[in-house]
Chain A
Amino acid sequence: MAKVTIDGIDVEVPDGINVVEAAKAADVHVPHFCYHPALSVVGQCRMCLVEIDGMPKLQAGCATSVRDGMKISVHNDKVDKARKGQMEFLLINHPLDCPICDKAGECPLQDYSFNYGAVASRYGDVKRTYPGMDRTPIGPHVMQNMNRCIHCTRCIRFCDEITGTGELAFIKRGASTEVGIFPGRPVDNWMSACVTDVCPTGALTAREFRFESRVWNLESTESVCNGCDVGCNIFVEHRSGKIYRYKPRVNPEVNDYWLCDYGRFSHERYETDRVVVPRMMRDDYQSIAGWSEAIDEIASRLRTTSGDKIAVIASSQLTNEDAWLLRQLFIDRLGSKNADVVVDDIAPIRMKSRNGWLEGKQAGPNFRGVRAAGIKPTGGRSAEELMTKGADGIDVLVVTEAAFSARATSAEVIANLRKARFLVVLAWENHPLADAADVVLPTTIFAEKSGTFTNVQGRLQKIVAGSLPKGEALPEWEILRRVGVALAPDEVSYAFSEVEELFDQMVSKTPALKSLDWSGIEQFGVTGAPQGS
């Protein structure tokens, strides 16, 4: 450890870290553009200049490692003058088009210009422009406006050092230096849109998000990507029940600063015709039903059959809480022998954590958690059998998500599942399987409910309800709870109203999770959660 003084504040920090990081310990922010904790240090923007006692010249904070006894000034007249100088240099040729720039509101260049920019410009000459490079698609997801670029090379280093694909490079030199791609080689890698996150200006923006919303008009909710079993940490950014984008939420243990393009844009699947009210089949035609009517019908069907004739197909999108209640109700109480969970395989998605690469191979976030909750056939029929051989002889089949698998749209699978005497399908989108059901119940999507997922590492991570549920949609656990109440009105374990209470029940009965409480789930998740396979 090194004892250093930063703007008069004494702090102790690990040896060898740079001044930008060390200053955080003193709660001092060192302005910086090119430095990024997950990328190599290049010392190019010169915004992080600091004064160090005993050194005649100002030093780049990003490229200076602390030593014991160092006295560092992040703010004094000399440093501030230098920093204002760099800010002036960065702005003289910048178009200053914040009013039409998608980065505005989350742009480090804009933010620092409030602190270090001048109101009146001393620049009285013609600005440098990059003709023809002001709205250039340089990849399927990335739009470039070179006029806004401050040449920090973060995007170049991302492609060199993280994905290793090297699509971007500096071209030309001096004031004409531009960031560009090689002819015919677009920025088209599986994490390409991350360059728009690392870019500290509006030079690179995500094509999908351009002109969609001002960032300050979005609400941001902590969640976990449900694209695959890596479980990258995200902010769901939404307004009025519409999801506009996912942004990476830093978790060094999982996704660090990154998201894959597939996951990042997977919210587009929710821009669809949602199921908003319960429906029941009456005279070969589904019509709107009330919740209690639908729940009562399901309960009466369940009451009049036996466990070996009750089947469940669970989705890997269920939270651990959903799955726990599902098991408790269908396996423990009703004795179903035919409960199973299904997940599709996907071509592996690689994701870089601070400690190395993770690989997602499942199309849902929580197959392991659902399995570990005990959702598996016990001497009965598996979901595979139901899908391929038919659900003959099953009295009640409950599917917790119509889109539990890509195969659920196949006519053959639908016909096979339809062989159950009574088919209950939970769905958030209109789906052919739901259309075939006796009862369709509208569910929330993951961004509209709270709970936990267990990822590929056995890490329990929290998702938080942010976006407003559509119509009368309810989270799966609430639907299950209502069925439970209908079956056993006096059972105390169904007498809860918040998912936290369900979580407590689950934890108290799951030795591996003992002593965990909802608010105690750390920012980066909790490892060691049970994983099923």
Chain B
Amino acid sequence: MEPIRVLTKNVGKPGSASIDTYISGGGYESLKKALKSTPDELVQLVKDSEMRGRGGAGFPTGMKWSFLPKDSPKPRYLLCNADESEPGTFKDRVIIEHDPHLLIEGMIISAFAIRSCPMSYIYIRGEFHHGAMVLNRALDEARAKGFLGKNILGSGFDLDITVHRGAGAYICGEEMGLIESIEGHRGQPRVKPPFPAVVGVFGSPTIVNNVETLSCVPLIVEHGAEWFKSFGQPKNTGPKLYCVSGHVKKPGVYEFPMGVNLQELIYEHCGGITDDLPLKAVIPGGGSAPMLTPAEIDLPMNFDALMKAGTMFGSAGIIVMNSSTCIVDATWRMAKFFAHESCGQCTPCREGTNWMETILDRIERGGGRPQDADLLFDMTDNIGGKSLCALGDAACGPVASAVKKFRDEFIYHIEHKGCLPGTKRYRRLDMPVGAH
């Protein structure tokens, strides 16, 4: 499969973030087209495209939009999720920094389609300081050109967009955590139901969509649903950004149609494994996704295929580990992330993620106990599916898969109080525990 330049068609052009570059490449034409159709037609168009959300859960976008209650007198909100904090994920950043107008155009069309109230928000992670500046500059440009503001292009539709910077919490990327954070509260998810489409931000019906999802919308409007479906497989359609990191020779963001073969991606497009060592494990969909072994990676990168393989497509953040990796250390690193990012409100995640991290750290330091592997695995059963939000499940993905698939290495580590020969840890154990 050959790489494509659809979502990334402006990336790399000089001044790609400016509105002039964007317009000269045909930008904002989709908006004009969209404003001539009705919101319902647009929702139907997105439904027909079979696009699934790019934020991680892969929920069909058109269907999500149609869940908004028809008869609510309350204003509706569109929120763009630009919190991009999933480990190994850096695709939204490319769009935000290099083609912000694609996102903005997508948001205006989507807001029109869902009959949004005149204010929309981009929730961007606090660390994306540069990205927030780029977006604000782009928003100013769009306002100046009349793409934002009152009566956009004479359509009678009003919209402005506010960039809201987060303060550094992964959990604020979870849609309910994001909503609480925008409201000015502590970023901790609310229990569902009610779902955001019914009671979201400021008590109103709300749609939360990922940056990449919204950026696909102008393309769908421009080229049509059939064109969109021509990328990928049934129910797994469209162009897609893949983030590849770890032990590959050419890490980076790649664009392919949905369903590129994972093995091909790693070995052909990313130049294979560093130091030409054998592959050990791949996390295919961001830090939350269960690990795959080398024998399992000959599969198309899409939602359904990865689900079938017992892992998940998630944010398409592919983390590659070669044979030098101590799997206990790698698993600890993921567990540490989730323990640190747990909001702390629900029992299994608050206590369980911390306990998992403690055990993994202890094993890594040579203090493993014979029962630890089973204990870890059983604990993932007490967390997974039991937590208030999906962060608890996310934390179990790497741990459960590593303990199951690399059990022998865990046992070796516990019995020999050290790494399997030929593997090493990539952190210093004398680092203070709180540091990361």
Q: Which of B193, B344, B347, B387 has the most C-beta atoms of chain A within 10 angstroms of its own C-beta?
A: B347
Contact of A125 among B352, B362, B383, B387 (CB under 8 A): B362
Q: Provide the bound-state CA to CA distance between A60 and B344, in Å.
A: 17
Q: Which of A41, A42, A49, A58 has the most C-beta atoms of chain B within 10 angstroms of its own C-beta?
A: A42
Q: Give the chain B neighbours of A60 by CB distance below 8 A.
A: 191, 388
Least distance between B155 CB and chain A CB atoms (Å): 40
Q: Provide the bound-state CA to CA distance between A44 and B354, in Å.
A: 17
Query: Does A86 lie at the interface of the complex (its beta carbon under 8 Å from any beta carbon of B)?
Result: yes
Q: Give the chain B neighbours of A89 by CB distance below 8 A.
A: 347-348, 350-352, 355, 382
Q: Provide the bound-state CA to CA distance between A391 and B190, in Å.
A: 67
Q: Are B344 and A170 in contact (CB under 8 A)?
A: yes
Interface string of A393-432 (1 = CB under 8 A from B): 0000000000000000000000000000000000000000
Contact of A85 among B344, B348, B359 (CB under 8 A): B348
Size band of the interface chain A makes with B: 35 or more
Contact of B347 among A57, A90, A122, A125 (CB under 8 A): A90
Contact of A86 among B358, B359, B369, B382 (CB under 8 A): B382
Contact of A176 among B193, B344, B358, B388 (CB under 8 A): B344
Q: Provide the bound-state CA to CA distance between A124 and B375, in Å.
A: 11
Q: Which of chain B's residues has its CB closest to A125's CB?
A: B358
- Given known pairs A42-B191, A169-B186, A177-B345, the reply for A92 and B351 (CB within 8 Å) is yes
Query: Does B340 lie at the interface of the complex (its beta carbon under 8 Å from any beta carbon of A)?
Result: yes
Q: Which of chain B's residues has its CB closest to A90's CB?
A: B347
Query: Does B188 lie at the interface of the complex (its beta carbon under 8 Å from any beta carbon of A)?
Result: yes
Q: Are B342 and A175 in contact (CB under 8 A)?
A: yes
Interface string of A58-98 (1 = CB under 8 A from B): 10100100000000000000000110011011101100000
Interface string of A164-200 (1 = CB under 8 A from B): 0000011011111100000000000000000000000
Q: Provide the bound-state CA to CA distance between A88 and B386, in Å.
A: 13
Contact residues, B10-30 vs A (CB, 8 A): none
Least distance between A92 CB and chain B CB atoms (Å): 6
Query: Does B385 lie at the interface of the complex (its beta carbon under 8 Å from any beta carbon of A)?
Result: yes
Q: Which of B191, B362, B385 has the most C-beta atoms of chain A within 10 angstroms of its own C-beta?
A: B191
Q: Give the chain A neighbours of B387 by CB distance below 8 A.
A: 46
Q: Give the chain B neighbours of A45 by CB distance below 8 A.
A: 346-347
Query: Does B268 lie at the interface of the complex (its beta carbon under 8 Å from any beta carbon of A)?
Result: no
Q: Give the chain A neighbours of B371 by CB distance below 8 A.
A: 122
Q: Give the chain A neighbours of B354 by CB distance below 8 A.
A: 128, 174-175
Q: Are A174 and B386 in contact (CB under 8 A)?
A: no
Q: Are B186 and A170 in contact (CB under 8 A)?
A: yes
Contact of A124 among B169, B352, B369 (CB under 8 A): B369
Q: Give the chain A neighbours of B188 by CB distance below 8 A.
A: 170
Q: Provide the bound-state CA to CA distance between A49 and B191, in Å.
A: 13
Q: Give the chain B neighbours of A153 by CB distance below 8 A.
A: 345
Q: Are B385 and A125 in contact (CB under 8 A)?
A: no
Least distance between B73 CB and chain A CB atoms (Å): 21
Query: What's the dominant secondary structure at chain A's contact region?
Result: loop
Q: Give the chain B neighbours of A260 by CB distance below 8 A.
A: none
- Given known pairs A92-B355, A125-B359, A175-B354, the reply for A57 and B191 (CB within 8 Å) is no
Q: Which of chain A's residues has its CB closest to B374's CB?
A: A122
Q: Provide the bound-state CA to CA distance between A187 and B58, in Å.
A: 45
Q: Are A41 and B348 in contact (CB under 8 A)?
A: no
Q: Give the chain B neighbours of A170 by CB distance below 8 A.
A: 186, 188, 344-345
Q: Provide the bound-state CA to CA distance between A500 and B252, in Å.
A: 86
- Given known pairs A43-B388, A128-B354, A175-B354, the reply for A151 and B382 (CB within 8 Å) is no
Q: Which of B192, B339, B348, B359 has the most C-beta atoms of chain A within 10 angstroms of its own C-beta?
A: B348
Contact of A82 among B362, B375, B386, B388 (CB under 8 A): B386
Query: Does A225 lie at the interface of the complex (its beta carbon under 8 Å from any beta carbon of B)?
Result: no
Q: Give the chain B neighbours of A122 by CB distance below 8 A.
A: 371, 375
Q: Are A151 and B350 in contact (CB under 8 A)?
A: yes
Q: Which of chain B's residues has its CB closest to A94's CB?
A: B351
Q: Give the chain A neighbours of B346 by CB distance below 8 A.
A: 43-46
Q: Provide the bound-state CA to CA distance between A436 and B399, in Å.
A: 81
Query: Does A123 lie at the interface of the complex (its beta carbon under 8 Å from any beta carbon of B)?
Result: yes
Contact residues, B332-378 vs A (CB, 8 A): 339-348, 350-355, 358-359, 362, 369, 371, 375
Least distance between B167 CB and chain A CB atoms (Å): 11
Q: Are B345 and A175 in contact (CB under 8 A)?
A: no
Least distance between A148 CB and chain B CB atoms (Å): 14
Query: Does A318 lie at the interface of the complex (its beta carbon under 8 Å from any beta carbon of B)?
Result: no
Q: Give the chain B neighbours of A169 by CB distance below 8 A.
A: 186
Contact of A175 among B171, B192, B344, B381 (CB under 8 A): B344
Q: Which of chain A's residues has its CB closest to B434's CB?
A: A176
Q: Are B347 and A175 in contact (CB under 8 A)?
A: no
Q: Are A63 and B369 in contact (CB under 8 A)?
A: no
Q: Give the chain A neighbours of B385 by CB distance below 8 A.
A: 57-58
Q: Are B351 and A93 in contact (CB under 8 A)?
A: yes
Interface string of A98-128 (1 = CB under 8 A from B): 0000000000000000000000001111001
- Given known pairs A82-B382, A89-B355, the reply for A174 and B347 (CB within 8 Å) is no
Q: Give the chain B neighbours of A57 by CB distance below 8 A.
A: 385
> Can you report 10 A-B residue pairs in the complex whose CB atoms are below 8 A from each other?
A46-B387, A92-B355, A125-B355, A125-B359, A151-B345, A174-B339, A174-B341, A175-B342, A175-B354, A176-B344
| 6 shortest interchain CB distances as A-B pairs | A85-B382, A177-B344, A43-B191, A175-B354, A89-B351, A174-B342
Given A85-B381, A151-B347, output 17 extra A-B contacts at Cβ < 8 Å: A43-B191, A43-B346, A44-B191, A46-B347, A46-B387, A47-B347, A57-B385, A81-B381, A85-B386, A89-B352, A89-B382, A90-B351, A125-B355, A150-B347, A170-B186, A174-B343, A175-B350
